């Protein structure tokens, strides 16, 4: 195997290969290419723990907004600048936010090579070890998404690098750079404080220099907490995407002092629980890298503690992987969380450094054997990279949230001048809607609010209060009744969208009587509208009218049929039935006499089908008689030319 230090078999090594920065840029460049190949280019749709907060960040950065605890002011300020600059050349915010993560992910990999070189590991071995980290599942996914973790890792690796340099040189500039990167890392992610003992081990030969430069160290350290002034600054500047209340003293200190411990730790003494913790942590790490390679890396990194030249580095690495393995094990709430996935990242860094050290030690003993083993390791990494890439794509290419965006986009603002307000719980779907409205020119004319908005206040100020079905999965109808009162009137504003009101929503003046189909159950079909949304998709708007008090709960039948009337079940091409009108939430026994209820349905026409009619009706079940159907209303469908 060729060595960057000299020659072998009379062959001169190309000068480029002997330059350390070539190997740093090689590792970082390859990593960046991998990460950009899986970067999420659109609004996040994945509910995987890796992507828990991605949609929030995709919305916050282009607005120069702020995000969840603990605020991450450094990340949001730099990220907002990056996204804004890329926006000037036409890159969408979601893609820019992912590229931002990819850049810091690649930077982390380059810093790992520098860290290995500082440990006197040869450049090729350092590069292979760094690439082992690069293709680990967690690092790859985090570098493909709008997430904070690659920034944390880059600052942590820089702190380790300058700690190692300072321990060797005692240089004042290395000390100040160590102080800067470490304090920024801790302010960015509080768990990075666990790095402190490792850093102390590395700087041990020159630790007295800290006291000789105490004032300079203190001033540099104070830069980190000062970044939190960015949060109230953005509030005072009128940012429209702000998490919490950082503009108030209480809200500011809540974010600043938050370390997530109360939300992520749940220490229990049950042996069964501890076994579950340990086995889950082991599985998570095995998902990150082929476990024999992972164990080899951790064992080799630990073996540095017995290497006279690298003893302090070895003990520092032992501390890091043991500390973060313990943290990962403790973070358990009977489910895998984003905090647990983030806590294990430093373990992967140490494993990669260990792989580099192992290959380097082999080369010192047998260059041929080392070359063979290195080739095997590289092949293993290629095999693993294919799997990791496929997994990353399963998250970054998920477009499922587009369904709710499409659903809400069908809502047309009301012509009466009252504000049309869509309410959804803060989270995945809400972030998708907000992004589509702000950056894709969709949902125009609609007012989006999250669950923190008071429904009563919205209705009292005159808003049309609408909610997609997903809202009721989190906040059931009883929750809305508690806010708005038991006399709650419901209707649909589009398929999958329910409007709620404390007064009847429609009057006879709003809906002309153009059908007048009596269902013989105290209800008639007052009017029907059919709209073609796409060549194979129709929207049916039914206006039911209660003629009298209805004492039975009726279900709705909406059938697309090939023959009218259908002679068998095979003649029913498509059904859009519901157990109650208004998406199943408005029982007919709740209707008041004279009340008009709008009810929307989607009809999908299967490819190759030739429907004859759309049939509308109601039915109920009787213990003895079975299904009792109302008279059907048939609406002919134009035959295809």
| pLDDT value at residue 1 | 34
Nearest-angstrom CA–CA distance, 416 and 610: 39
Nearest-angstrom CA–CA distance, 48 and 611: 40
Please give the DSSP secondary-structure letter assigned to residue 578: B
β partners of residue 422: 448, 466
Report angle CA 557, 558, 564 to the nearest 5 degrees: 105
Nearest-angstrom CA–CA distance, 496 and 477: 15
State what percent of residues in the chain have pLDDT above 70: 95
Q: Stretch 341-348: mean pLDDT, rounded?
A: 95
Above 80 in pLDDT, residue 263?
no
Residues in the chain: 641
Q: pLDDT grade, residue 79 (50/70/90)?
A: very high
Alpha helix positions (H), 119-229? 123-134, 137-142, 149-169, 172-188, 196-202, 208-212, 214-226
Domain at 507-641: CATH architecture: Sandwich (2.60)
Q: Stretch 497-526: mean pLDDT, rounded?
A: 95
Nearest-angstrom CA–CA distance, 429 and 431: 5
Above 80 in pLDDT, residue 477?
yes
Looking at every residue in the chain, the average pLDDT score rounds to 92
The structural domains of the chain, with segments of one domain joined by +, span 20-259+378-396, 401-505, 507-641
Distance of CA 66 to the CA centre of its chain: 16
Strands 420-423 and 464-468: parallel
Q: pLDDT grade, residue 639 (50/70/90)?
A: low
| pLDDT value at residue 367 | 86
Nearest-angstrom CA–CA distance, 606 and 244: 47
Strands 446-449 and 420-423: parallel
| pLDDT value at residue 278 | 87
User: Residue 297: helix, strand or coil by DSSP?
Assistant: helix
Q: pLDDT grade, residue 540 (50/70/90)?
A: very high
Asked if the peptide bond before residue 565 counts as cis, ω within 30 degrees of 0, the response is yes
Classify the C-alpha dihedral 175-177-179-181 as positive or negative: negative
Taking the CA of residue 288 as centre, how many other CA atoms within 13 Å lie in the half-sphere pointing to its CB? 30
Q: 354-410, pLDDT tens digit by residue?
A: 999 999 999 888 888 989 999 999 999 999 999 999 999 999 999 999 999 999 999
| pLDDT value at residue 265 | 59
| pLDDT value at residue 419 | 95
How many of the other CB atoms lie within 10 Å of CB of 211?
8
The secondary structure of 343-358 as a DSSP string is HTHHHHHHHHHHHHHH
Classify the C-alpha dihedral 132-136-142-148 as positive or negative: negative
Report angle CA 63, 68, 72 to the nearest 5 degrees: 75
Q: 158-214, pLDDT tens digit by residue?
A: 999 999 999 999 999 999 999 999 999 999 999 999 999 999 999 999 989 999 999
Q: pLDDT grade, residue 269 (50/70/90)?
A: low
């Amino acid at each position: 195997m060729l060595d960057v230090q000299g020659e072998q078999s009379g062959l001169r090594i190309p000068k480029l290969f002997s330059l350390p920065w070539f190997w740093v840029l090689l590792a970082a460049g390859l990593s960046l290419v991998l990460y950009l190949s899986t970067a999420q280019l659109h609004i996040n749709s994945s509910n995987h723990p890796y992507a828990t907060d991605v949609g929030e960040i995709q919305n916050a950065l282009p607005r120069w907004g702020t995000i969840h605890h603990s605020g991450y002011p450094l990340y949001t300020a730099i990220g907002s600048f990056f996204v804004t600059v890329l926006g000037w050349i036409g890159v969408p915010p979601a893609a820019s936010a992912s590229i931002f993560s990819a850049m810091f992910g690649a930077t982390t990999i380059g810093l790992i090579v520098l860290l290995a070189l500082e440990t006197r590991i040869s450049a090729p071995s350092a590069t292979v070890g760094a690439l082992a980290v690069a293709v680990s599942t967690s690092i790859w996914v985090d570098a493909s998404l709008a997430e904070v973790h690659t920034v944390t890792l880059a600052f942590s690796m820089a702190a380790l690098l300058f700690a190692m340099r300072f321990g060797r040189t005692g240089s004042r500039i290395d000390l100040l750079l160590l102080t800067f990167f470490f304090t920024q890392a801790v302010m960015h992610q509080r768990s990075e404080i666990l790095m402190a003992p490792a850093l102390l081990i590395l700087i041990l030969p020159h630790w007295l220099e800290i006291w000789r430069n105490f004032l300079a160290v203190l001033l540099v350290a104070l830069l980190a907490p000062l970044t939190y002034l960015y949060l109230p600054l953005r509030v005072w500047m009128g940012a429209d995407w702000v998490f919490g209340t950082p503009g108030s003293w209480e809200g500011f200190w809540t974010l600043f002092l938050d370390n997530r411990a109360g939300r992520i730790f749940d220490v229990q003494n049950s042996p069964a629980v501890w076994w579950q913790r340990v086995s889950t942590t082991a599985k998570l790490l095995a998902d990150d890298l082929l476990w024999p390679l992972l164990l080899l890396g951790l064992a080799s990194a630990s073996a540095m503690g017995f290497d006279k030249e690298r003893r302090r580095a070895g003990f520092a690495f032992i501390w890091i992987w043991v500390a973060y393995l313990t943290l990962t094990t403790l973070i358990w709430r009977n489910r895998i969380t984003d905090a647990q996935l983030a806590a294990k990242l430093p373990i992967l860094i140490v494993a990669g450094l260990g792989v580099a050290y192992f290959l380097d030690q082999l080369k010192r003993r047998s260059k041929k054997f080392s070359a063979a083993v290195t080739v095997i390791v590289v092949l293993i990494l290629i095999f693993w990279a294919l799997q990791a890439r496929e997994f990353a794509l399963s998250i970054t290419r998920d477009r499922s949230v587009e369904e709710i965006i499409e659903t809400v986009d069908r809502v047309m603002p009301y012509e009466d001048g009252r504000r049309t307000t869509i309410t959804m719980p803060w989270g995945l779907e809400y972030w998708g809607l907000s992004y589509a409205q702000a950056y894709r020119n969709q949902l125009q004319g609609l007012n989006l609010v999250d669950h923190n908005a008071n429904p009563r206040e919205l209705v009292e100020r005159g808003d049309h209060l609408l909610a997609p079905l997903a809202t009721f999965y989190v906040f059931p109808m009883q929750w809305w009744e508690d806010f708005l009162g038991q006399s709650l009137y419901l209707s649909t504003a589009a398929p999958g969208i329910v409007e709620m009101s404390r007064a009847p929503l429609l009057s006879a003046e709003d809906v002309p009587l153009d059908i007048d189909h009596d269902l013989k159950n105290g209800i008639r079909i007052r009017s029907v509208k059919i709209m073609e949304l796409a060549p194979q998709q129709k929207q049916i708007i039914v206006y039911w009218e209660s003629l009298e008090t209805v004492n039975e709960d009726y279900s709705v039948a909406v059938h697309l049929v090939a023959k009218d009337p259908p002679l068998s079940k095979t003649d029913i091409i498509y059904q859009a039935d519901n157990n109650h009108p208004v998406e199943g939430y408005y029982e007919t026994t709740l209707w008041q006499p004279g009340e008009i209820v709008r009810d929307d349905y989607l009809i999908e026409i299967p490819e190759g089908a030739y429907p004859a009619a759309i049939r509308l009706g109601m039915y109920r079940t009787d213990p003895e008689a079975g299904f009792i159907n109302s008279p059907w209303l048939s609406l002919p469908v134009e035959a295809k030319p």
